[in-house]
């Protein structure tokens, strides 16, 4: 065993052993899934055990209402990001292919902005821009669909009537 492995293993053993101080002696163990994740690597297993020990210690801490709210918010953010990553990975895979013709059309339509840079020189950047635009459209459509499904604008108008009135007035002025 290497020194690092011994040190990490020793640290995890100490943390597991010290867990008894909080009245939860011997409650840490590697689940079947943890063992699969470790894939026979004791360093990874030690990291998993240390994380479990820290989580066990954190459960014994009394949190203020604000601290609990912030923790809950952080958990929600992780969950939302996980879900969106999973959702958009699938949706974005459909827009990752941009044809040369599509890139050339974009180049021709934006020639004034691009200037005299040859197409081949910036072709890759154009493809990336087209992909970004398509991905942005997917995200905006998803958010718009959510806003409609959950009546988000109605809720905002009810909760913040002054701002809603100001926004309506601004839209009316734009149309004039």
Q: Is the pLDDT of residue 104 over 90?
A: yes
Q: 172: pLDDT confidence band, cut at 50, 70 and 90?
A: low
Q: Which two tokens stand for residue 161?
A: 């009537």
Sort 16 into a burial class: Cβ within 10 Å, 0-12 / 13-18 / 19+: buried
Q: List, for residues 51-76, the tens digit of each pLDDT value.
A: 999 999 988 899 999 999 999 999 99
pLDDT score, position 132: 96
Q: Which two tokens stand for residue 148?
A: 């409609």
Cα separation, 86 vs 81, in Å, equals: 8
pTM above 0.75, yes or no: no
């Amino acid at each position: 065993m290497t020194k690092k492995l011994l040190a990490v293993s020793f640290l995890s053993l100490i943390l597991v052993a010290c867990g008894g101080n909080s009245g939860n002696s011997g409650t840490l163990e590697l689940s079947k899934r943890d063992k699969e994740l470790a894939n026979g690597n004791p360093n990874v297993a030690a990291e998993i055990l240390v994380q479990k020990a820290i989580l066990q210690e954190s459960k014994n801490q009394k949190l203020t209402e604000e601290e609990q709210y912030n923790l809950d918010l952080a958990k929600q953010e992780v969950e939302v990001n996980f879900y969106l990553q999973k959702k958009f990975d699938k949706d974005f895979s459909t827009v990752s292919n941009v044809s040369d013709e599509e890139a050339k059309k974009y180049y021709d339509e934006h020639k004034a902005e691009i200037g005299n840079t040859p197409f081949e020189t910036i072709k890759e950047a154009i493809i990336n821009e087209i992909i970004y635009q398509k991905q942005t459209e997917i995200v905006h459509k998803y958010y718009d669909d959510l806003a409609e499904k959950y009546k988000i604008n109605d809720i905002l108008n009810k909760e913040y009537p002054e701002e809603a009135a100001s926004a309506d007035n601004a839209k009316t002025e734009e149309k004039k």
